[in-house]
């Protein structure tokens, strides 16, 4: 009876899917994996094609008026949903923690925006979705998720229940990947050096995978890794949970 009630409540939720720009343009399979996970759990999610950027690049570069216009548009698009889910915490952190300062007011929708893993564990109370992946992996949890959102607990709980997967703890787990959005454009040498330093620990362990819940960090590490002969396969956590590694 409890299971049936949970499924009915999940289906009754109005859930909007927010896809970060870099996922939309470069890694659409991560968006498809997110939909597959939610639908497997009985959640009907809606993609509104009017959505655009969260405004973080403009905000971080000091273009506050431009960022505010993007934020206003985000609110108009997503205000009708009970929850908004994104496969990446960087944009979620921007919406939840910086919109009120940027706009000079509180908007209720910002509190309903969730990173995928925290939505699964926090709103759906799901820690195991029956995924499997054989091998040993390092986990990179981005800075914004460790410090702006709910930390790495939701991600680690979900991955702990993936059959056949071993997460190897490394000294560099909490280190920044060096991306930082426009930081990597303005300071490319420093950005790449930070990534190489982090990847050395992963390479030393001869791991099979490098996992992350945010594609921006994974894009940075994978790009530097290819130039450095890095062998571990980069995968977004959504790909693992959805069983879409191919």
- When divided into structural domains, the chain yields a total of 2
Residues 51 and 90 in one domain: yes
User: In the chain, at which residue ranges do the beta strands (DSSP E only) sit?
Assistant: 15-17, 45-46, 83-86, 113-115, 132-139, 163-167, 209-212, 233-236
**pLDDT, position 1:** 43
Q: Please tell me the distance from the alpha carbon of residue 232 to that of residue 222, in angstroms, as a whole number.
A: 9
DSSP conformation letters of 127-162: S----EEEEEEEE---HHHHHTSSTTHHHHHHHHTS
**pLDDT, position 245:** 52
Residue 168 class from Cβ within 10 Å (0-12 exposed, 13-18 middle, 19+ buried)? Answer: middle
**pLDDT, position 12:** 74
The answer to whether the predicted template modeling score (pTM) of the entire model surpasses 0.85 is yes
The domain that holds 95 is classified in CATH as 3.40.50
Residues 157 and 114 in one domain: no
Give the end of a domain, one of 123, 140, 163: 123
**pLDDT, position 150:** 79
**pLDDT, position 11:** 59
Give the end of a domain, one of 82, 98, 123: 123
Residues 142 and 112 in one domain: no
Residue 96: CB partners within 8 Å, gap ≥ 6? 110, 111, 113, 148, 149
Q: Please tell me the distance from the alpha carbon of residue 205 to that of residue 137, in angstroms, as a whole number.
A: 9
Residues 136 and 110 in one domain: no
Judge whether 197 and 166 are in contact, CB under 8 Å: no
Q: Please tell me the distance from the alpha carbon of residue 37 to that of residue 196, in angstroms, as a whole number.
A: 32
Residues 182 and 112 in one domain: no
Residues 10 and 107 in one domain: yes
**pLDDT, position 161:** 97
Query: pLDDT by residue (tens digit) across 78-124?
Result: 999 999 999 999 999 999 999 999 999 999 999 999 999 999 999 99
β partners of residue 234? 210
Residue 218: CB partners within 8 Å, gap ≥ 6? 140, 210, 212, 234, 235, 236
Give the residue numbers spanning the domain of 53.
Answer: 2-123
Residues 112 and 169 in one domain: no
Residue 227, φ and ψ in degrees, nearest 5: -75, -20
Residues 201 and 221 in one domain: yes
**pLDDT, position 7:** 55
Residues 211 and 183 in one domain: yes
**pLDDT, position 2:** 46
Q: Please tell me the distance from the alpha carbon of residue 128 to that of residue 101, in angstroms, as a whole number.
A: 36
Give the end of a domain, one of 105, 123, 141: 123
Cα 245 vs. chain centroid, distance in angstroms?
16
Task: Give pLDDT tens digits along the chain (246 positions).
Answer: 445 445 545 557 899 999 999 999 999 999 999 999 999 999 999 999 999 999 999 999 999 999 999 999 999 999 999 999 999 999 999 999 999 999 999 999 999 999 999 999 999 999 999 999 999 999 999 998 998 897 899 999 999 999 999 999 999 888 999 888 888 888 989 999 999 999 988 888 889 999 999 999 999 999 999 888 888 999 999 999 998 654
**pLDDT, position 201:** 86
Residues 94 and 207 in one domain: no
Q: Does residue 5 sit in helix, strand or coil?
A: helix
Query: pLDDT by residue (tens digit) across 29-54?
Result: 999 999 999 999 999 999 999 999 99
Residues 27 and 77 in one domain: yes
Residues 20 and 79 in one domain: yes
């Amino acid at each position: 009876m409890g299971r049936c009630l949970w499924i009915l409540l999940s289906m009754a939720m109005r859930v909007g899917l927010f896809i970060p720009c870099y996922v939309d343009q470069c890694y659409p399979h991560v968006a498809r994996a997110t939909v597959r996970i939610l639908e497997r759990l009985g959640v009907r999610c809606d993609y509104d094609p009017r959505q655009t950027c969260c405004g973080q690049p403009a905000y971080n570069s000091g273009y506050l008026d431009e960022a505010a216009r993007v934020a206003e548009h985000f609110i108009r698009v997503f205000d009708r949903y009970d929850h908004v889910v994104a496969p990446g915490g960087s944009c979620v952190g921007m919406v939840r923690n910086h919109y009120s300062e940027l706009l000079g007011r509180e908007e209720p929708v910002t509190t309903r925006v969730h990173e995928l893993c925290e939505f699964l564990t926090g709103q759906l109370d799901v820690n195991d979705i029956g995924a499997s992946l054989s091998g040993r992996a390092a986990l990179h949890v981005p800075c914004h998720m460790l410090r702006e959102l709910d930390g790495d607990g939701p991600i680690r709980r979900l991955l702990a229940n993936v059959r056949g997967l071993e997460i190897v703890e490394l000294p560099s787990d909490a280190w920044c990947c060096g991306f930082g959005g426009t930081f990597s454009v303005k300071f490319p040498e420093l950005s790449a050096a930070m990534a190489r330093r982090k990847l050395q620990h992963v390479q030393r362990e001869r791991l099979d995978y490098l996992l992350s819940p945010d594609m921006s960090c994974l894009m940075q590490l994978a790009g530097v890794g290819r130039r450095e002969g890095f062998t571990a396969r980069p995968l977004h956590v959504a790909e693992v949970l959805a069983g879409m590694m191919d």
